[in-house]
Structure formats: C-alpha cells, structure tokens
Amino acid sequence: EAQVTQNPRYLITVTGKKLTVTCSQNMNHEYMSWYRQDPGLGLRQIYYSMNVEVTDKGDVPEGYKVSRKEKRNFPLILESPSPNQTSLYFCASSPALGLAGGEQYFGPGTRLTVT
C-alpha cells in the first residue's frame, strides 16, 4: 500500500531534550516536506526537500533541522525543543513538483507536546 508513515504518532517530552520524528514514504517520490498545524494558523511549511541531499527552508524553520540521506526518509529533528513547538506535525511527499503538478500525500501526523 502506497503510504507515508510517521513515528511516533504521539510524543510528550520536556524542554531541551533532543528528539527526532521519522518520516518514510514507499512511493519513490522525489519531493518531501514537513508541516506543522496549529489552531487558526492552518498548515505551515517547516522544511522541504526536492531530492536526496537537497533541502530548503519553508516558512517556519527556526528550531528545526532535517536531513535527506535516502530518498524514502526525511526525519525532522528538534535539537532543543521548546513549548512553542508543541503542535501537530505532518510529513508529506509527492512526485517532483513543477508545471506538471503533483499531489502531496500526507502522513497520519505526530502530536508533539513539549512541557
């Protein structure tokens, strides 16, 4: 089954404790992206990657890191989480974007609480 998986689905952590949220897709998509969803703010892009070893900042990259060492994986790293990073996080993937378009497929989400 074609899908985007994220782990963990739920995470409660404390300020400053490094964490990684994993994202994996099995559709051989070039493009992957991370979003955070907050009430009243919709989905805001954190980072995206157009292919292996190619990443770029989205609209809200502060406090986050990503890497794309393999095509299928795109982990989100919070080196020193803070309470304002409490949010619902989504990973998405799509075939290469561009004039041809490309539907984004979203993972099920990771609800992160930082105390």
Residues in contact with other proteins by CB under 8 A are: 4, 31, 33, 35, 40-45, 48, 50, 56, 58-59, 90, 92, 97-99, 101, 103-104, 106-109
Between 29 and 80, CB nearer to other proteins:
29
Q: Look-up: residue for tokens 């994202």?
A: 23
18 φ/ψ angles, rounded to the nearest 5 degrees: -55, 140
Cα of first residue to Cα of last residue in the chain, in angstroms, is 36
Q: Please, which residue, 40 or 115, has the CB nearer to other proteins?
A: 40
Q: Which is nearer to other proteins, 49 or 85 (CB)?
A: 49
Provide, rounded to whole angstroms, the least separation between the CB of residue 17 and other proteins.
26
Contacts of 65 (CB under 8 A, 6+ apart): 76, 77, 78, 79
